Amino acid sequence: MAIGFYIWWGTVRFLIIANEAGITATNGFWTWRVLWKDMHSYRIENLGIKEERWEPVILDADRRVLLKPFICPFFSTRSGDEERARFWQYVMQRIDQKSAHGRMEI
């Protein structure tokens, strides 16, 4: 099973997918992959540009950043925000189940 969302804006394509292996994110030019086995915890940060957008930053066992969401659009739609929220909820639940440390809020 895979879960994800995308934003298509002109010639720019943002895509992030979580599947059984981990998370893959692309901005149309670069692609990042993070495996579930490497994810240890996360913290919630405000990554918004024009408005507040609180999202998880994925950390490894040494608390180094593995993945920081980069898809913070200047505009948003209700359905897009709902897809995005479902995606990150799935990711956070998966990390919480795996790790005794779970979520770290700052």
Ranges assigned E (strand) in the chain: 3-9, 12-18, 22-26, 31-35, 41-46, 54-59, 65-67, 103-104
List the structure tokens of 102. 């779970």
pLDDT bin (cut points 50, 70, 90) of residue 105 is very low
What is the count of structural domains for the chain? 1
Query: How many angstroms separate the first and last alpha carbons of the chain?
Result: 31
Tens of pLDDT, residue by residue over 38-83, are: 999 999 988 776 677 788 899 999 999 998 876 555 556 777 778 8
The residue that leads in pLDDT, 70 or 36, is 36
Q: What is the CATH number of the domain that holds 91?
A: 2.30.29
Range of the domain at 63: 3-104
Contact indicator for 59, 41 with CB cutoff of 8 Å: yes
Residue 25 has pLDDT above 90, yes or no: no
